[in-house]
Amino acid sequence: MVRSAPLPSRKAQLTCLRGGDDLSDQHLARFLERMPPDTLTFFQNQSECGIGVETCRALSTHAESLTALKLAVSGSGLPGLALLEPCHALESLMLTDLRPPHDLKATQNDVFMEMIKWLQQCSNLHDVTLVDLISAPALLAPVLESSSIRLTHLQINANSESALYNLKDHHDFHRALSRQTDLTSLLLKADADGVFFDDNATLCDCLCQLKSLKRLSLTRVTEMFTDGHICILAAQLLQLEELLVDGYGITDASLDKMTNLGNLKSLTFSGLTSFTADGLLDFVDRLGPGNDGLALSVDRAQTDSALTDAERNIIGDALFAKVQGRFEYQLLRGKVMNLASMT
């Protein structure tokens, strides 16, 4: 099923909801090719639509007008990505591997190299999301090194465990990432298994170069971060409004530095924490008007240092009274408690 939306000046947007049969790729390609060239500005498919080589080739007939592309392909459709090279006008790009993992660099290197060539020429590109593409960091490292690429949003996500990139194997990506100082939003999800001190230090240093960040989400990437790493981030990334970070053995020391973040609206600790009631109350007491509505979440508190029910309620009430915020607290094996005050 295809849904088309006309725009002024003979421009169009197109959403493909689902494929109908084994010839979906050819049918969709024929539809795109029958449109006047360079009239399509936006294309997305929301599920398996049989998109492959033919559709990707047809999309290139709108290379001068296509500014937003959200493309989801299965294994048979991955070779088609090499045919998108003419589409240099892109401003926003989302690519999803529907049936991961496919390591393009290792198994389809010609496609991988053509994609690098393509993305390096997209000088207007500012928003990139790659989902379940295990080759994402290797693909983006040379792209982010380019002086013509200035991203403001980047997301590398994985819904499949097998599609997580390995943190310790991609220092070149993290170093290239540090050049993207226009970034305001960065979301990374990776496998931190086997990382050592130097791996964490490199990542932390690279992140600290991104002074414009307002949203930073580090899922599993920072599983072995300590208080020291988190304190460094809080001291350097002063524009943060949203922060999600893991960590191991995180204590009140990290909370103390979070008060540097005068615009913080959402703070999630998803790693192992041992916060005290006094430390949390001191953090709340030092919040300012820029923290209005702050959502504070502690997702994996260690049971041997768990807050009592009374302490949790006191902290929730204090946070609401100070900035009309809410406090969520979950033990490593426990039930989430939403303690937003209703008074």
Span 276-301, average pLDDT: 98
The mean pLDDT of 280-286, rounded to a whole number, is 98
pLDDT digits 0-9 by tens, 208-261 = 999 999 999 999 999 999 999 999 999 999 999 999 999 999 999 999 999 999
- Tell whether pTM > 0.85: yes
pLDDT at 17: 77
Task: Show the DSSP H helices in the chain as ranges.
Answer: 24-34, 53-59, 104-107, 109-120, 136-144, 171-177, 197-207, 227-236, 252-258, 277-285, 309-323
Which pLDDT belongs to residue 102?
94
**CB-CB neighbours of 333 under 10 Å:** 7
Peptide bond before 289: cis, by omega within 30 degrees of 0? no
- Answer for the pair 6, 36: CB distance below 8 angstroms, yes or no: no
Average pLDDT, rounded, for the chain: 93
Beta strands (DSSP E) in the chain are 2-7, 11-16, 40-45, 68-73, 92-97, 127-131, 153-157, 165-166, 185-191, 215-219, 242-245, 266-273, 295-301, 326-331, 337-338
Percent residues over pLDDT 70 in the chain: 94
Lowest mean pLDDT among 185-199, 250-264, 298-312, 324-338: 324-338
Mean pLDDT of 103-107: 95
Cα–Cα distance between 229 and 198 in angstroms, integer?
A: 12
- Looking up tokens 């007491």, which residue turns up? 285
Instruction: Report residue 21's pLDDT band, with 50, 70 and 90 as the boundaries.
Output: low
Query: Are 25 and 45 contacting, i.e. CB atoms less than 8 angstroms apart?
Result: no
Tell me the mean pLDDT in the region 127-139.
97
pLDDT above 50 (res 163): yes
pLDDT at 316 over 80: yes
Residue among 314, 240, 342 nearest 329 (CA): 314
